[in-house]
Amino acid sequence: MRILVTGASGFVGGVTADLLCAAGHQVTALVRDATARSRLSRMVEVVQADLLEPRQLAAAGVSRGFDGVCHLAALTRVRESRETPLRYFAANVTGTINLLAALDAGTRATGVAPRFVFGSSCAVYGDGGTSPIPETRAAAPTSPYGASKLAAEQAVAYQAATGRLGAIVLRSFNVAGAVGSHSDRDSSRIIPAALGVASGRRDAFRVNGDGASIREYVHVVDMARAYLTALRAVVPGQCTVYNVGSGVGVSVSDVLATVESVTGRDVPRVTLPAVPEPRALIADSTRIRADLGWNSPSSTIERIVADAWRSTAVLESVPVGRADVPIGT
């Protein structure tokens, strides 16, 4: 298939673009940052455009008639979204609408109704309720980020209802790890932040409260495989929602202990007052496993941290620590 990947300069988008290319698809990466070229497979076509600029999308050939689209371009920080809500709605909602409009123009011109896989988030569920969270849980976002993702989901679903699109929405929880040249460079996330302490770039890890809050983590390779699997399963005129997660809860303290074990280095902690947040956020991914046959073999916390640490060591030229830790590829 001819597949467009938006957000391919990002962590998950880059891995997804490379995986699709390796699977034999003809991949076009839509990026705002042209330096992403160096991190992507040489077989990936790279075009530069801003989703908030429809004329740039037209110039980049988004309307040429793609068979499939993986839409991962987004702003993703929950706390930041509370400071700049309009920026998040512009990027995540208006950007999605502009993309859908460009694809619709291509469909009308070529007759090709693309398979559309949208990268959404567990933030649409909000903070209430118990875990694990099924797709049947009512959406109740508590942040502009979550609300913007839900609004974008709705735009995708309504466009699919026209029959000029088929869609699957993937609600991810916490994506981590690394593969090849792709690593998570967002130090606001727990694993990159903890590895930053282990590598000596940061003095200590700031723990909000008692460190008992539980989250789950899915390896970026498993997440990218979910996009590949979903593309094959899209049905024209339909929009289906799937959670994507390992289903295994890990506390903040457990993550830090794993980082220390993998790196062979201490991770000093500074305890800060607790912040309002759910005690546990774990996905019920039964549906995607049953319907699409997706699974998450790489998503143990040990494998995730080991792969991320190896990437950190390569990028920063620091010793990797214990040699007996199995490193994923």
Active site residues: 145
| Distance from C-alpha of 120 to C-alpha of 149, rounded to nearest angstrom | 6
Cα Rg for the chain, rounded, in angstroms?
A: 19
| Distance from C-alpha of 269 to C-alpha of 284, rounded to nearest angstrom | 31
Q: Which residues face 250 on adjacent strands?
A: 215
Please compute, for residue 31, the number of CA atoms within 13 A of its CA located in the half-sphere on the CB side: 23
As a residue count, the chain comes to 329
Provide the edge-to-edge strand list for the sheet that holds 280-281. 249-251, 214-216, 280-281
Scored b (16 or more CB within 10 A) or e, 179-196 reads: beebbbeeeebbbbbbbb
Whether the Cβ atoms of residue 291 and residue 228 lie closer than 8 Å to each other: no
Whether the Cβ atoms of residue 145 and residue 121 lie closer than 8 Å to each other: yes
Write the CA distances from 98 to 6, 83, 86, 163, integer angstroms. Answer: 12, 24, 16, 18
Q: DSSP letters of 35-90? A: GGGGGS-TTSEEEE--TT-HHHHHHTTGGG--SEEEE------HHHHHH-HHHHHI
